[in-house]
Amino acid sequence: NVLLFTRNYSNANQMKELCTSLHKEIIDSTGTLPFIAIDQEGGTVTRMMKDVAFAPSHMSCGASSVSDASYKVAQALGRDMIMLGMNVDFAPCLEVNKGCMDHNHNVRCFGSNPETIAQYVKRYIEGLSTYGVLGTAKHFPGSGDSTKDSHLELPVIESSKERMQNVALKPFKANIN
């Protein structure tokens, strides 16, 4: 299995060649179809920016007047990813937005209502799966209550058990299947 980053991508043709060679090498070596993943949420977390659809952030989908925006965005991402040879997207984010002051999570959240987020997430995952791409529900257990960037330091979530159950974990529970 392989996780690709921005540094692995120069254009769509190069990415397709890379993924094709990875598929061949892994299948020849193991007899198993590999998972080839990238972190392509949209918005500020976009690893492929050239020759593919540039997707809006989760927050933009949640605020959009476009009907079923999260599904349509994910469907476009899934189409581009599978065309280039990737089959796992490290998206969507299931955080519940505590407020726009949290720069680590604000645009990466579909909104502040756990039930609404759960529906956006469900449709996002269904959009990816239209083309056979697997979605990844992240960041368990819901780092929306953290004020630290987990890429730089270990976040500590100091929410009550009640808040975790009634807010942060709701989108995860609703999408467990």
pLDDT at site 146: 72
Model confidence band, residue 104 (pLDDT cutoffs 50, 70, 90): low
pLDDT at site 5: 93
Q: Kindly give, in sequence order, each residue whose CB lies less than 8 Å from that of residue 71, ignoring residues fewer than 6 positions away.
A: 123, 124, 126, 127
Q: Kindly give, in sequence order, each residue whose CB lies less than 8 Å from that of residue 165, ignoring residues fewer than 6 positions away.
A: none
pLDDT(89) > 80: yes
pLDDT(58) > 80: yes
pLDDT at site 99: 66
User: What's the pLDDT tens digit per position in 106-143?
Assistant: 778 898 899 999 999 999 999 999 999 999 998 887 67
